[in-house]
Structure 1
């Protein structure tokens, strides 16, 4: 009972301290914030350009530094460390600089990482740079989502925001592979991203210039405490963590599976990965409205069933063309999971906790699973199952939606009203 009273008190403190900042959370028409929508979408596209290039550059990075897979995998772990630090620092930075200021700081930190990368420094310094790119992307990703949920018809704009991230993941391998395969300067990819990153800083600073460093969190410690003691936030953290694990297992190891198990030509099957991310991006755009109209919970279960069926087909049919088709469809149907989850989360927790909750959950995303997988001999572990383990992850994700039944009754009632 005492703990419950303390939790209630924490939320009350947050509500009182945030009352004067409620204008930030006021629902806005998209026509009023076109510039900010463009700049936040561009920032998220930069995140896609950052995240999807590393795997493509590994074959060039290894001989350049004369290192093994274990050392290569460290860049993922260091990148995740940057995400983790940003997840806890996000609300404190926001309490001093506001969302606009936090976005600009994040974009600047990301650019600093590229400054360390593009001249191919000694490997320890090259690895360290991933800490800064991870931190910078995490700050921007959280604040871009927080801003987008304040726009009317947020489910649609979240779908577009995360589709734009998908566009970045499609473009990144094409640019990185072109630079690395046609020149001896694979690291110049990071020079290109640095130039694009500078434009990102300018766009964010310009579009958020009004109230750029105006705080929209008055009591960071109270909000963080309320966030960490909110059961629904932790349930959704589990949902996102498991979903991203499935996404990474499917997209991250796809090409290697097709080369080693299906004996495909690397020059040809490499394009299958772009097909997966293309389906992923289209799914976020085309399925946003239908998912919202028919009910988020119902449609997520439907998509999970389709995804598992497609994964089983991918596993059982030893044909590269059939595998390419099934994996593209898989990307299409799992694409909406993330924006749908964010939309539902923002409807079932207090508005004052959005900054803390979204900043916290972003520590669970992206590179959390990637950092561990390269440490294992995946061929002995997966064998003919390949990315079929993503189906298992999908089942676990579906269980997380069921766990909502154990959430506080008020939150559960809100979920029922939404779905």
Structure 2
């Protein structure tokens, strides 16, 4: 379709000298088609949020239902991690055969397979195994929605909106899951709801990406997929971003996933009440992605991430040392607010410091392998907590925040990052 720089949806169209990426061939000329795809990819992000944030609220109900300890519960995160990793390496090859739309539909379908195994109160091993499918399915979608949105004009703002919509899902997930679990005896019905919404997600993606669905993005995609993956994996900066995203998403989901169990076990809170505090964390997280998007871009992504990290460390320490549930609720909300922008900011900066020919592979690879942290660190926290208690959440969180700052410091400086 040629260079899209003079259209509404050219990659980073605010910079007329920035050439079109290979993924820009995915974008139709019709602004209406672009907007419909933005809508469907945002709904996929909403579904990812509903998926990622609900498990932590359900842990106090999973344990008595299945008569299992924290180590067994944390196996859910390990199985989820396996699905994420497999998808991260398969993403480029799958996309080269069936394109962005096809990969999105495949991921949404795999995600629904997981929910179909969960909602009817299956045996615990099958319930755990289902998280492989949700992890794999969300990973395929996560890589593709980010690769699509980064090609839209004013990508830094659209990425902020995309990940804010994800944040809305993380707010609604704990609210809905906690309401279902506290009011009816079958908490598994939460996954029946996500199964129904997942069917809507599949339908939305099929309709908006119907033109060329299951077709490669470019004619030689199959031939270049292997080389693209090798070049991506051999790039040092890509691995720095991998580390940044791996620790960041790990911190995000670890905080949200084990927060309720910490308040129940350490602060002696009532699960039916403190379950809603998890939504407070995700609300701050969502507001941060919206409120801080333009501020971060204005004053420089590199500088602002360091400032946000320092403020997040302060909130985390206050949460740790002040044994008051109300104070904990406030500080954890601000913690989410300050770390919320990290993911969309990181993806935007990635397009400025990675060679253009690696954008498609790097976006998919870092999004997927980074999101694997959302399973790896919650699993590690649960495994340690099963021996030492849930209070280990606090030092683990501080370590993750420090690690995030270290990886960010290694990201190369570029003229496009600063004001």
TM-score band, normalised by the shorter chain?
Answer: 0.7 to 0.9
CA distance in 2, matches of 1:20, 1:300: 26
1:400 matched to which residue of 2?
407
What TM-score, normalized by structure 2, do the two folds share? 0.87
Question: Per-residue deviation at 1:189?
Answer: 1.4
Q: What is the number of residues matched between the two proteins? A: 392
Q: Deviations over 1:288-335 (max 9, x none)?
A: 011011100011111111111222222233322222212111111110
2:320 matched to which residue of 1?
315
CA distance in 2, matches of 1:309, 1:98: 44
Aligned pairs (5 A) from 1:16-415:
23-24=24-25, 33-216=34-217, 217-218=221-222, 219-361=224-366, 362-365=368-371, 366-377=374-385, 380=388, 383=391, 387-404=394-411, 412=412, 415=414
Instruction: Confirm whether residue 417 of structure 1 aligns to residue 412 of structure 2.
Output: no
C-alpha change, 1:69 and 1:22, in structure 2 (3 Å) is closer
How much is the aligned-residue C-alpha RMSD, in angstroms? 2.3
Question: Per-residue deviation at 1:386?
Answer: 5.0
Question: Per-residue deviation at 1:249?
Answer: 3.8
CA distance in 1, matches of 2:390, 2:124: 30
Question: Per-residue deviation at 1:30?
Answer: 6.5
CA distance in 1, matches of 2:200, 2:33: 22
Q: Deviations over 1:88-147 (max 9, x none)?
A: 111111001000110001111111111122222222222221111111100001100000
Q: For structure 2, which runs of at least 5 residues remain unmatched after alignment? A: 1-19
What TM-score, normalized by structure 1, do the two folds share? 0.87
Give yes or no for contact 1:25–1:150 (8 Å, CA) kept in 2.
Answer: no
Give yes or no for contact 2:251–2:377 (8 Å, CA) kept in 1.
Answer: no
Structure 1 residue matching 2:377: 3-state secondary structure: coil
Give yes or no for contact 1:159–1:336 (8 Å, CA) kept in 2.
Answer: yes
Q: Deviations over 1:21-62 (max 9, x none)?
A: 564277989765110011001001111111122222223323
C-alpha change, 1:213 and 1:352, in structure 2 (3 Å) is farther
Give yes or no for contact 1:88–1:359 (8 Å, CA) kept in 2.
Answer: no
Structure 1 residue matching 2:375: 3-state secondary structure: coil
C-alpha change, 1:243 and 1:108, in structure 2 (3 Å) is same
CA distance in 2, matches of 1:373, 1:62: 16
C-alpha change, 1:90 and 1:180, in structure 2 (3 Å) is same
C-alpha change, 1:300 and 1:322, in structure 2 (3 Å) is same
C-alpha change, 1:57 and 1:325, in structure 2 (3 Å) is closer
Which has the larger share of helix?
1
CA distance in 2, matches of 1:61, 1:318: 26
CA distance in 2, matches of 1:288, 1:76: 30
C-alpha change, 1:333 and 1:47, in structure 2 (3 Å) is same
Question: Per-residue deviation at 1:376?
Answer: 1.8
CA distance in 1, matches of 2:339, 2:22: 35
